[in-house]
Amino acid sequence: MQELPKVVQHRLASGDAGPHPDPDLLTAFAENNLSERERSLLVTHLSRCFDCRTIIALAQPAEETITVQAPERTPWLRWPVLKWGTAIACVAIVGAAISLYREHPEQYTPRDTGAAVTTALQSPREEERSSLNLERKAAEQKAAQPARAASSTPKTDALGSVAEKPAKTMAMRSDAPSSPVRQAPESLNESTAVRDLEKKEAVTQGKAKQATGDELRAAGPAANAGLMDRKSHSADVSLASSLAPRWTLNADGTLQRSLDGGRTWNKIAVSSDAAFRVVAALGSDVWVGGAAASLFHSRDAGEHWLQVKPSDGNHILAGDITAIELTDSTHGRVTTSNDEVWSTEDGGNSWQQLW
């Protein structure tokens, strides 16, 4: 910005401003409710009166802040955890897959894959336990039967021991159809509980590290594909949460939306002749209101808009909309410049004037 010489600033500060305007005129100026002539006179006074400029600035309401409610999540499930967890899990899976292909390409059987998938579906604690069991069993069998270990791979033994165990994992397997390789991805897609488990698994990097080579070898390529699916699913979840739309209004009352956490903003065309003053969003429900009772509602995060004209029998909402409060997707309240308060309990289909 250009610097103004001190001498010029001094001359700018001097000069007689005349009598102060009353608070009504100052308020009307702040609310853009003056005639052209009055506004011009008032601006002339303001340009010379420090006190009145201060009053206008102090009386200005705090900037409207819009909070878009994010879906609830546990405190530990945050973006850094997701990011690093996903990255480490990805590296571990790729590394394991490479070693699998190099060392034991002949041992991938559908049955093994099923075991690995069901293991992956266990809770992290169960997964730890079964992983430890696998290692212990393998070590015991190696010590007891070195010759047998030499003739058959430790992986086969380990899986054999898993298959013989009457654990929960086995119960799941026995209930499963005969072709677990084909069924496992379907069950992954269908069960939301399973998805939750997957998310937890993806973000717990320590546990991801504990996925031993034995287990991964048992999983085979199909299971690797499943894990990759889970990894990309976790990434989708984190991406979706970071892309939750944010809303704001610019100075001339145009609605703007950001899909990248506020880095860039796009104007949203709602109505060509409406100057908005307030916006409220709850999930994909967005309400925006402004001058001359203009009120619009979008149920799909701003893709489509519907004009809403609240009326209560004989009375129609007529003032400027100054506040919108949303309790949930069906309950909301609208305040107008003439201090009317309207409420809806069915997502805007019917309205009741409270004040």
Partner 1 sequence: MSHERPSETSAPAGLEVLISELHIKSRAREFDISREEFGSILNQIAVKYCPEAPTGVRELYLTLHVEELVLARACAAGHEKAWEHFLVRYREKLYEVAGYIAKEAAAARELADSLYADLYGTQAREGKRVSKLASYTGRGSLEGWLRTVLAQEYVNQYRRQRRLVSLEEESEEGTQYAAPQKEAVPGIDPRLERATDQAFAALDSQDRFVLASYYLDGRTLAEISRQLRVHESTISRKLDKIAKSLRKNIITGLRKAGMSSRQVEEALQVDVRDLSINIRNRMAQESDRKSFPGEKAEAPAGDRSR
The residues of the shown chain that bind partner 1, judged by CB under 8 A, are 1-14, 20, 22-35, 38, 40, 43-44, 46-48, 50-51, 53-63, 250-252, 337-339, 355
Nearest to partner 1 of 307, 338 (CB atom) = 338
- The nearest distance, CB 30 to partner 1, in angstroms, is 6
Q: 């070590």: which residue's tokens?
A: 139
Dist CA 160 CA 175 (whole Å): 18
Phi-psi region of 308 (alpha: psi -120 to 50; beta: other; left: phi over 0): beta
- The nearest distance, CB 93 to partner 1, in angstroms, is 48
Nearest to partner 1 of 24, 106 (CB atom) = 24
- The nearest distance, CB 258 to partner 1, in angstroms, is 17
- The nearest distance, CB 265 to partner 1, in angstroms, is 13
Dist CA 302 CA 295 (whole Å): 13
Residues 173, 177, 181, CA angle at the centre, nearest 5°?
A: 80
- The nearest distance, CB 340 to partner 1, in angstroms, is 8
Nearest to partner 1 of 3, 273 (CB atom) = 3
Nearest to partner 1 of 60, 65 (CB atom) = 60
254's tokens:
């145009």
- The nearest distance, CB 323 to partner 1, in angstroms, is 11
Nearest to partner 1 of 34, 286 (CB atom) = 34
- What DSSP string runs through 131-192? HHHHHHHHHHHHHH-HHHHHHS-HHHHHHHHHHHS-SHHHHHHHHS-S-HHHHHHHHHHH-H
Contact 248, 279 (CB under 8 A): yes
Nearest to partner 1 of 227, 268 (CB atom) = 268
User: Which of 309, 306, 302, 299 lies closest to 336 in space, CA to CA?
Assistant: 309
